[in-house]
Amino acid sequence: MMRSRLRFAIMAFVVVALVMLARMFILATYDRDFLQEQGDRVAQRAESVPTTRGIIYDRAGQPLAISTPVQSIWTDPGIDSIPTESLPDLAQALQISEEQLRSTLREASNRRFVYLKKRVSHEVAEAVGQLGISGVRFSTEFRRYYPAGEVTAHVVGLIKNDGKGAEGLELSRDVELTGETGQRRVLRARDGRRLRDIRLEDAPKFGEDITTTIDLGLQYLAFRQLRQTVAEHDAKSATLVLIDVLNGEILSLASYPSYNPNDGGDRSFSRMRNRAVTDTYEPGSTIKTFAAIAALESSKYQPESEIDTSPGYFGIGRHLVEDPRNYGTLTLEGVLIKSSQVGISRVALSIDKYAVFSALNRAGVVDEPHSGLPYEANGHINIEDLERDIGRATMSYGYGLRVSPLQLAVGYLTIATGGIRRSIGIVREPAPFKSPDQRVFKEEHAKTVLQMLEGVVSPIGTAPKANLEGFSVAGKTGTVRKILDGSYDESRHIAWFVGIAPSTNPRIVCVVVVDEPMGETRSGGGVASPVFAEVARHALQLMGLTGTPKRLVAHGNAA
């Protein structure tokens, strides 16, 4: 009986063993992939695949903003334990203090992720890697680099630490530039080590590249000229806008002082703000151009119409409008050439009280420019001032209103096109929406004003330094007293010059503004117009233009 039971037990054991062996053979042979998948699933993790921010180019394809791959060094305090004895060497390799490293680890003890150092140089990454410290991990990220630095900073802008745009085109075109991250499944060991990629679930969508209208060579030249002017005249700042008349493309937009987006140096508000679009100033005598076109539209005036400016001043209520000296009787053209406050005020008061404002409005001087850059300022005009004679008089010579340099450039573009309001822009590709051209002035009136402005850069005008050898130029100066503590300060000025060249067949409009030039020369003709001359000369050469005949300019006084 005992033997039978023992024999049965042995046979049962053998059967069970055979079944188990058979099952193991089946699993190993036929269900191997299934088991592998089940094992892998335990250690699978979803991991984001970084995208690359789009490149920003100048009009010729030279990069203005690019993303370069760099290593960031991190750890997972939840599963990693960096040996205490390794901290001194790790801190030295990271180029930070040991106390800073200990503090970082201490504060992140309850977290699953902490950067030890972000976006390190190749040398730092290599030094840390050679230490071979467990728990120290690496990830590839991208650092934004701006090849032209401060020269294009106000156009291109910069990004924040989170990779989002903060200024310039980096901000206004952030959505297109950013792209979308992807996702992949990876296999990690229990200690967090990455073993292998399993599959790519969503491919990253790379950011869209952007081509600007900026000519980098002209941008460097403009920036250099502005920096030199600020130094020579001990000015607070200087700004330039250069526009292609044929298509409204901004060829150069520069301000000095600027900042370097590649480092964390001086990023004060005075350096970072883009004065060409954000700052508004009283434009002074540059507005006389639009008062003159309003006069022509009224049919009361022609270029040779006579205006009596004697004795060099006149009163409006308790206010006094005056010229530097008595110019006597001037033609309308002579009023622009001599930049007579008295003359243009008498003209403005003799036509419809809204005529000058209407001309400014139609030309685009007071509208948002829609250039593609962020933080564009709107011009400011107090409409109630038009109900008073003194308000209409001061508006005609550019006081009592404020515009940005870019807005004034848009207004003069309308004159240069022969009276057509044309959209401007700073992005070429992807092509932005542009409003269609719209005629706002008669061509004959715009061309007549252009001819009158040629006298401003003649030897008898206010800006002979804007003259270009071999090219006809039309221009207008403005020298504006600044308001300090509620009243105009005789010692602080804004110097303006706006130039159009060639005036016989316009290709460029250029606005130059210098804030608070000091020294003997503070006028727009003396300070701002030389900057125009240097930049315009190179711009016309790049366009392949040859010299144009110049019109003989009369002296501006009535015969």
Q: Read off the amino acid at residue 436.
A: P
Q: Which amino acid is at 258?
A: S
Find the catalytic residue in 252, 258, 285, 404.
285
DSSP letter at 398 equals T
Q: Strand (E) positions, 382-453?
A: 401-402, 420-421, 427-429, 438-439
3-state secondary structure of 158: coil
Closest CA to 369 of 241, 228, 197, 501: 241
* CA separation, residue 454 to residues 69, 143, 420, 467 (Å): 53, 49, 20, 9
* Secondary structure of residue 165 in the 3-state scheme: strand
What distance lies between CA 532 and its chain's CA centroid? 20
Which bin fits 326, alpha (ψ -120 to 50), beta or left (φ > 0)? Answer: beta
Please state, in angstroms and rounded to a whole number, the distance separating the CA atoms of residues 170 and 148: 15
Say how far residue 260 (Cα) sits from the centre of its chain: 13
Q: What is the DSSP letter of 387?
A: G
CA 418/CA 438 separation, integer angstroms = 11
**Catalytic site includes residue 285:** yes
* Phi (first) and psi of residue 68, to 5 degrees: -115, 140
How many residues appear in the chain? Answer: 559
Residues 459-496 as b or e (16 or more Cβ within 10 Å = b): eebbbebbbbeebbbbbbbbbbbeeeeeeeeeebbbbb
Q: Are 225 and 535 in contact (CB under 8 A)?
A: yes
Instruction: Please state, in angstroms and rounded to a whole number, the distance separating the CA atoms of residues 59 and 117.
Output: 36
SS3 per-residue string spanning 21-33 = HHHHHHHHHHCHH
Q: Rounded CA gap, 535 and 471, in Å?
A: 13
Q: How would DSSP label each residue in 65-130?
A: EEEEEEEEEEE-TTT----GGGHHHHHHHHTS-HHHHHHHHHHTTT-S-EEEEEEE-HHHHHHHHH
Nearest to 128 by CA among 96, 106, 166: 96
| Secondary structure tally for the chain: helices H, strands E | 19, 22
* Separation between Cα atoms, residue 173 and residue 167, nearest integer Å: 10
Q: What angle do CA 217, 219, 225 make, to 5 degrees?
A: 105
Question: How many other CB atoms are there within 10 angstroms of residue 74's CB atom?
Answer: 17
Mind telling me the catalytic residues? 285
